[in-house]
């Protein structure tokens, strides 16, 4: 079974608008972490935001926020005020327990239109 | 600079050959992870080392092997290369008990 599911292969958003990238996960662990990474066309993996399973507040980092719904096992990334530079592939990932590997979803390609 | 150094950045080699990819983790990080990113398989976890010991194994082919040295750098060896091994290979490192993972810029391997 897929541990991380990203159902949107591609998304378009108008510049300056907000966009939500979906991510659902599957785990039986009580302790886990959820991550979002950005991969621009240059290829590097850029860490965006982290949410721990015990965190009560949704994580925020600048224009990025994570809409964490534990009961639904979803961890959607919200990008506010989209910029042209946000055009990239976005990956959702999960770590079960501590010190363990990250498991990645298939990714969502985001294109920001001017 | 993320702090994780991968060399070389690009590698072009012929089928049947053997290559070695190198990774130096961020200072203080004991864990090293190797990932393969290809168009058809996405980001696949290959193997993890922690302080010189193999900790977890993923979808790593028998033709592939890795090790982590006492200075904590790691090498991924790919042998009997096939066209399908063409991919972007990432190394990431993390601290013990920490939640952050730092990725290197990757090695793009092209097998011709």
For residue B20 the two structure tokens come to 């070695």
Strands B74-78 and B87-94: unpaired
A1 pLDDT higher than 90: no
Residue B105's CB: how many other CB atoms inside 10 A?
19
- Residue A36: the pLDDT is 97
pLDDT tens digits for B72-81? 999 999 999 9
Contacts with A107 from chain B: Cβ below 8 Å? 42-43
- Residue B47: the pLDDT is 96
Mean pLDDT score of chain A: 94
- Residue B59: the pLDDT is 84
Q: Is A38 on the interface with B (CB under 8 A)?
A: no
Q: Is B73 on the interface with A (CB under 8 A)?
A: no
- Residue B39: the pLDDT is 84
Furthest-apart CA atoms within chain B: distance in Å: 41
Peptide bond into A86 cis (omega under 30): no
Q: Rg for chain A (alpha carbons), in Å?
A: 14
Q: Rg for chain B (alpha carbons), in Å?
A: 13
Name the strand (E) or helix (H) holding A108. strand A108-113
A95:B2 CB<8 A? no
Contacts with A29 from chain B: Cβ below 8 Å? none
- Residue B97: the pLDDT is 61
A43:B105 CB<8 A? yes
pLDDT tens digits for B44-70? 999 999 999 999 999 899 999 999 999
B1 pLDDT higher than 80: no
B101:A35 CB<8 A? yes
Burial A25-63 (b: 16+ CB within 10 A, else e): bebeeeebbbbbbbbeeeeebebbbbbebeeeeebeeee
pLDDT tens digits for B20-41? 999 999 998 999 999 999 988 8
Residue A98's CB: how many other CB atoms inside 10 A?
13
Among the partner residues A35, A43, A106, nearest to B88 by beta-carbon distance = A43
B31:A99 CB<8 A? yes
- Name the pLDDT band for A73 (thresholds 50, 70, 90): very high
- A39 to each of A8, A89, A91, how far by Cα in Å? 16, 5, 8
């Amino acid at each position: 079974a897929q541990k991380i599911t990203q159902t949107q292969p591609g998304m378009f958003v108008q510049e300056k608008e907000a966009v939500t990238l979906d991510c659902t996960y599957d785990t039986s662990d009580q302790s886990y972490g959820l991550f979002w990474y950005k991969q621009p066309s240059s290829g590097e993996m850029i860490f965006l935001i982290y949410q721990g399973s015990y965190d009560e507040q949704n994580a925020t980092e600048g224009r990025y926020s994570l809409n964490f719904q534990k009961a639904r096992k979803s961890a959607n990334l919200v990008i506010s005020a989209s910029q042209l530079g946000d055009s990239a592939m976005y990956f959702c990932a999960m770590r079960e327990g501590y010190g363990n590997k990250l498991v990645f979803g298939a990714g969502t390609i985001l294109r920001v239109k001017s | 600079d993320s702090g994780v150094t991968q060399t070389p950045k690009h590698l072009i080699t012929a089928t049947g050959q053997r290559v070695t990819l190198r990774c130096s983790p961020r200072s203080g990080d004991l864990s090293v992870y190797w990932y393969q990113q290809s168009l058809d398989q996405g980001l696949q976890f290959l193997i993890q080392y922690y302080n010189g010991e193999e900790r977890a194994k993923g979808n790593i082919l028998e033709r592939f092997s890795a090790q982590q040295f006492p200075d904590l750098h790691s090498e991924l060896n790919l042998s009997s290369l096939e066209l399908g091994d063409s991919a972007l290979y990432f190394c990431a490192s993390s601290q013990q008990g920490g939640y952050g993972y730092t990725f290197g810029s990757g090695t793009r391997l092209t097998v011709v």
